[in-house]
Structure 1
Amino acid sequence: MQDVTQTRTDAPDSAASMASPPAATQALPAWDLSDLYAAPDDPRLTADLDRAEAESRAFEAAHAGRLASLSGDALASAIATYEGIEEILGRAMSFAQLVFSGDAQSAENGRFYQTIQERVTTISSHLLFLTLELNRLEDASLEQKMLSSAALARWRPWLRDLRVFRAHQLSDDLEKLLHEKEVTGRSAWNRLFDETVASMRVDVGGEEQTVSAALNKLSDNDRAVRAAAAKGVSAAFGDRVRLFSLITNVLAKDKEIIDGWRRYPRATSSRNRANMVEDEVVDALVAAVRESFPRLSHRYYGMKAKWLGLPKLMHWDRNAPLPDDADTTISWPEAVARVRAAYGAFSPELERIAAPFFEKPWIDAALRPGKASGAFAHPTVPSAHPYLLLNYHGKARDVMTLAHELGHGVHQVLAAQQGYLMSSTPLTLAETASVFGEMLTFRAVLDAERDPRKRRALLAGKVEDMLNTVVRQIAFYRFETLLHEERRKGEVAHERIGEIWMQVQTESLGPAFDFTPDYSVYWAYIPHFVHTPFYVYAYAFGDCLVNALYGVFREGHPRFQEKYLEMLKAGGTKRHKELLAPFGLDASDPAFWRKGLDVISGFIDELEQAG
């Protein structure tokens, strides 16, 4: 099964409130999942799973142990059959994930999600042999088969990416054991984390809030409200810190064991292989961002402290609105209009692809208890369509989140033509369309604004979003790296986890901040650390890539829109070097990262000059 849901989480993006939503957010869309299945008890779901099980057993009986002897055309036919069965399983699993995301508090939803996951895992165990046997084929033999078969050559990109893991593949029995135990291993701990956070309530000034609603209060205009929310979040996670520490320690140890068996040189290597980037390329990105902390986050937050009239910022001031920020509530129809206009001004074709998301029930933006926090885009399967989840409070940042997730959605629609196995992109490229869509929307709003004070507020908001995307995510990555390294010496006490968290926060955010001791538990609410270890650097990768790409667009690169759409249509068939070459960009060049970071620094320069 593919792990292809693009997620986005940081304090300002979260959102499901127990309190009554403001008037501007009371008529928000909710998705209708019936394009997948009508309900968890839909007979079509049972029939699909039964069919997939029968087909997978027949497929295993026909082909297991025989792939090496197949002709190129016969092997291509086998892969096509495998893809068809995987898509059936992908549809079922997507439906279960979306149902659970809609209300993770529901015990019934939790049982349904687990049941489907277990059934899908059992069925897919009959398909596991195909990828294992393909990776045992010699390069010369496989190449000869592809040269003799145009049908097999079509699968070249998928085979290329599959074979990146050849050196880390275990015996068939071990691979099958790990596959089947997943439902009682990592995924079970993931579910425990999700259900725990979904059921938590945070005391914010005497009012009960969900975790995501309380985190949203950290961007409130009133500093007293922000402080109360911060205190409540600290208390709620502090009360459960031993549980979150246990989850973190178990998953880190589980990863260490598997990485050791697979002979990965370090904890980050498996994620980098999946992202189709070398360890050294990621190291260069991380080093470039860390070196830029003083000219980016340290400088900006020093300016922000002065704007707010504070000698030092507390952690609850990080996302505080600026004095010039009117903090107006933006209605959903207005947000949609802004995003669609920005997409359409760039490319009418892009806006045409985006239109169904708003004309059909493909978006869930409503606020309700139990709903997943943050935002994500789920591609489901090529035979259906993506779904978007966000929690809309009517803030300017929420509009940017809509633009971001819509970027994922249109990317997934365009890439669907590559089929189930080749439509998914590595995480490093998956953020391209989302961040680009965000940039298009921001530029459209900024260019239309004539009031200097409002322009400063808009520009500062964008800088903060970029710092959250680049600086903060690299700090998260640094936290994970240090934590996983320390876990190899033994279980890490929650106090020590807190110390590592405070170390990277101090390093990344700089001397403008005073951190209260209770901030040391804030690592516990970040779901990426649990669900997708070392995912977070992909945000910085994507942001810097888009900064460079957008610069090429602003310079009037010929046929940019056409080339951009072709890049998105490629899905997972091309690597970043091939995708960026038509634009004259090369992510392996160290200057590429500096160019991306210079865009952020340039925005801060403009703010500094404005005073």
Structure 2
Amino acid sequence: MNKTGYTEVWNLDKLFSFGHNSRQFHDHIQQLEGKVSKLEEKLKAFNKISNINESSKVESIIQQIADIQINLSQANSYVTCLLAQNPKDQNAMNLRAVTFSTNARFESPLKRFQRIILNTSHQLWEDIIETDELNRYKFILDEWRKKAEILLSEEEERLVSDLMVDGYHAWGQLYHSLLGSIKVKLKINGESKELSVGQTINLRSHPNEDIRKTAHYEMEEIWKENEELFSQILNHIAGFRLEVYKHRGIDNVLREPLIENRLKEETLNAMWVVVSKYKKPFIHYLNEKAKMNGDKKMQSYNFWAPIGKSKQKIEYEDAVNFILEHFSHFGSELENFARQAFDSEWIEAEDRPNKSTVAFCAGFPVSGESRVFMTYGKRMTSVLTLAHELGHAFHNYSMKHVNGINRQYPLSIAETASTFSEQIILDAAIEKTDATEEKLFLLDEKLKRSVMNFMNIHSRFLFEKNFYEERKQGFVSPSRLNELMQDAIDEAYVGSFENASSHSWVWTPHYYLTRSPFYNFQYTFGYLFSLSLYAKSKEKGKAFEREYLELLRDSGSMSTEVLVLKHLGEDITCEDFWEKGIKLCVKDVEQFINLISS
């Protein structure tokens, strides 16, 4: 029997009581500071690795680093949640400044340790990482050794870390505060409303075209009014990053995100070549859908519009039960985990003003929990977002018992787990219905995901790549940013999209992340990779869940190429791998066209 009465508001007090006034949180930070101090002291007395017998000492340092990392993650996630539920929470902003400071301070001893292992002779290094104490950390230690090659001097890196707090981290924080404070005034069914950006974005899938169109143009006006301010934020974030790169001797702006995602550039290039090669079927899909609205080309404000006859409103309770039902068809562990998330009040989904616009999942590794944040809009898109974020949370759960530093998995693989969960829900819904119009509606929702990953995400990648090249020469004006955005959209959609937002660079928060640039290609990677995994799950049934969990657990301890080769036996530097996934999406287009014809 389905449960009733799921809460749409999360519980953060179980993590740290009393929110931004939490004494428990302040104690946590003080303990963290103490742990960083102990690490600093230990490293002062340990300048180099002299012989293989020091493997136990190295392991002890690794354990200290891992402990600090998971406690920092706990603190960072908590503050992120506080600011998401109320971007104007000044006390939470103060806590963010404190956590930024602790993060920056930790960077110095971490980089010092990376230098120590870099300065170890090649032969001694090869011997020591094969010892019983260090062998399980071999991949991460080799990765740290490579990262140390591009570091500045210890004093310079400490200065950079200190500057980041009030440098581009502060600019990123300002961006989210500004975006969260914007209100959009609209008339919906004759009633005047003041909505947040997140609530307004949810209207893109509203069944009424006039509402979708009005919301689109109202937001465009707001972006135009604020473009000067947002362009300054974007330019300062990019400028700071490029200055650091210049001093580190990094010319290729993709180098850092490729290292962070444990990907080779040839892998990324192979993926985009295949995506570009197979765009024609998706242009056909867009044109056919445009015709259904009486247009020659797809209007951007109609892209997310539902088609066919379907239940337009899906209550939150129904969405939860729908997800649990179909997760259970994949495997009991996924179902039980999702049930725990709902029952334990890990989900913030209430549709209310003054929330952040960005859906996310925050991991709390110390307590072995996650929190999911979104604004639930009672439509299929919201159901899919909920499933997507639960996929991230399941990935966190799968790493629960993985040792220390091997928990840190790249964003590209993180998007695989989330996209996989979306696939389960959407494909199950398509298979469940025999009604042509309902199937058409759901298939359209699936194809939107393909277009988003093969066209929209591609446009984001192209924009960011071109923007950084121009930023190297100086400040990029708002009008030029609009041109770069429009050019990227035209290229990625091959001219099949009209009235697209040339201000996408303003309201796409991924451009303003200060952790690393280029948080875009990971979605396309995860989407195509998840298709391969999903195909295997269909072949093997519930027995595949165990293999899936093993892949997720390995995701923090090997390169992405090695991970896929180990678990799928595929070489992702070759175009053949990517073609297998995208051809499955082409079949969806063919099915869609056949349904329209019938």
* Superposed pair shares fold, TM > 0.5: yes
Equivalent in 80, 97, 115 of residue 114 of structure 1? 97
- Shift of the alpha carbon at 1:557? 8.3
For 1:597, the aligned partner's letter is: I
For 1:171, the aligned partner's letter is: S
Does 1:176 pair with 2:158? yes
- 1:14 corresponds in structure 2 to none
- Shift of the alpha carbon at 1:360? 0.2
Distance 2:120 2:357 in 1: 44
Contact 1:122 1:180 in 2 (8 A): yes
- 1:68 corresponds in structure 2 to 49
Root-mean-square deviation (Å): 2.2
Contact 1:312 1:513 in 2 (8 A): yes
Distance 1:104 1:181 in 2: 24
Equivalent in 20, 29, 52 of residue 8 of structure 2? 29
Equivalent in 97, 102, 109 of residue 80 of structure 2? 97
Does 1:86 pair with 2:65? no
- 1:551 corresponds in structure 2 to 535
Moved more, 424-433 or 88-97: 88-97
- 1:51 corresponds in structure 2 to 31
Alpha-carbon distance change, 587 to 207 in structure 1, aligned in 2, over 3 angstroms: same
- 2:228 corresponds in structure 1 to 242
Equivalent in 298, 301, 316 of residue 313 of structure 1? 298
For 1:76, the aligned partner's letter is: E
Does 1:490 pair with 2:470? no
- 1:16 corresponds in structure 2 to none
Determine helix, strand or coil for the equivalent of 1:391: coil
In structure 1, runs of 5+ residues without a counterpart are 1-24
Determine helix, strand or coil for the equivalent of 1:168: coil
- 1:164 corresponds in structure 2 to 146
Distance 1:120 1:583 in 2: 36
Alpha-carbon distance change, 387 to 130 in structure 1, aligned in 2, over 3 angstroms: same
- Shift of the alpha carbon at 1:328? 1.9
- 2:433 corresponds in structure 1 to 449
Determine helix, strand or coil for the equivalent of 1:207: strand
- Shift of the alpha carbon at 1:524? 0.5
Distance 1:100 1:479 in 2: 28
User: TM-score, length-normalised on structure 1?
Assistant: 0.90
Distance 1:62 1:227 in 2: 61
For 1:187, the aligned partner's letter is: H
- 2:133 corresponds in structure 1 to 151
Where do 1:343-354 residues align within 5 Å? 343-354=327-338
Alpha-carbon distance change, 125 to 576 in structure 1, aligned in 2, over 3 angstroms: closer
- Shift of the alpha carbon at 1:126? 4.8
- Shift of the alpha carbon at 1:240? 0.5
Determine helix, strand or coil for the equivalent of 2:195: strand
Alpha-carbon distance change, 528 to 26 in structure 1, aligned in 2, over 3 angstroms: farther
Contact 1:470 1:539 in 2 (8 A): no
- Shift of the alpha carbon at 1:593? 0.9
Determine helix, strand or coil for the equivalent of 2:369: coil
Determine helix, strand or coil for the equivalent of 1:418: coil
Alpha-carbon distance change, 456 to 310 in structure 1, aligned in 2, over 3 angstroms: same
- 2:422 corresponds in structure 1 to 438
Determine helix, strand or coil for the equivalent of 2:407: coil
- Larger RCO: 1 or 2 (CA < 8 Å, sep 6+): 1
Contact 1:548 1:596 in 2 (8 A): yes
- 1:233 corresponds in structure 2 to 219
Equivalent in 289, 314, 328 of residue 304 of structure 1? 289
Does 1:262 pair with 2:248? yes
- Shift of the alpha carbon at 1:527? 0.3
Distance 1:555 1:515 in 2: 42
Alpha-carbon distance change, 538 to 426 in structure 1, aligned in 2, over 3 angstroms: same
Alpha-carbon distance change, 120 to 351 in structure 1, aligned in 2, over 3 angstroms: same
For 2:56, the aligned partner's letter is: D
For 1:109, the aligned partner's letter is: A
Distance 1:331 1:453 in 2: 21
Distance 1:522 1:341 in 2: 36
Question: What's the CA shift string for 1:37-96, capped at 9, x where partnerless?
Answer: 113333332323223323322332222343423701111012112222333333222221
- Shift of the alpha carbon at 1:280? 2.0
Distance 1:466 1:28 in 2: 32
Alpha-carbon distance change, 109 to 293 in structure 1, aligned in 2, over 3 angstroms: same
Contact 2:43 2:109 in 1 (8 A): no
Contact 1:52 1:123 in 2 (8 A): no
- Shift of the alpha carbon at 1:146? 2.4
Distance 1:62 1:115 in 2: 24
- 2:588 corresponds in structure 1 to 603
Determine helix, strand or coil for the equivalent of 1:379: strand
Distance 2:16 2:116 in 1: 34
Distance 2:349 2:30 in 1: 34
Identity of aligned residues (%): 23
Contact 2:470 2:476 in 1 (8 A): yes
Does 1:470 pair with 2:451? no
Distance 2:353 2:477 in 1: 32
Distance 1:491 1:606 in 2: 47
Distance 1:208 1:352 in 2: 39
Equivalent in 548, 552, 564 of residue 548 of structure 2? 564
Determine helix, strand or coil for the equivalent of 1:339: helix
User: TM-score, length-normalised on structure 2?
Assistant: 0.92
Distance 1:217 1:513 in 2: 19
Contact 1:135 1:166 in 2 (8 A): yes
Alpha-carbon distance change, 190 to 592 in structure 1, aligned in 2, over 3 angstroms: same
Does 1:335 pair with 2:319? yes
Moved more, 312-321 or 351-360: 312-321
For 1:506, the aligned partner's letter is: D
Give the aligned length.
582
- Shift of the alpha carbon at 1:268? 1.4
Contact 1:29 1:364 in 2 (8 A): yes
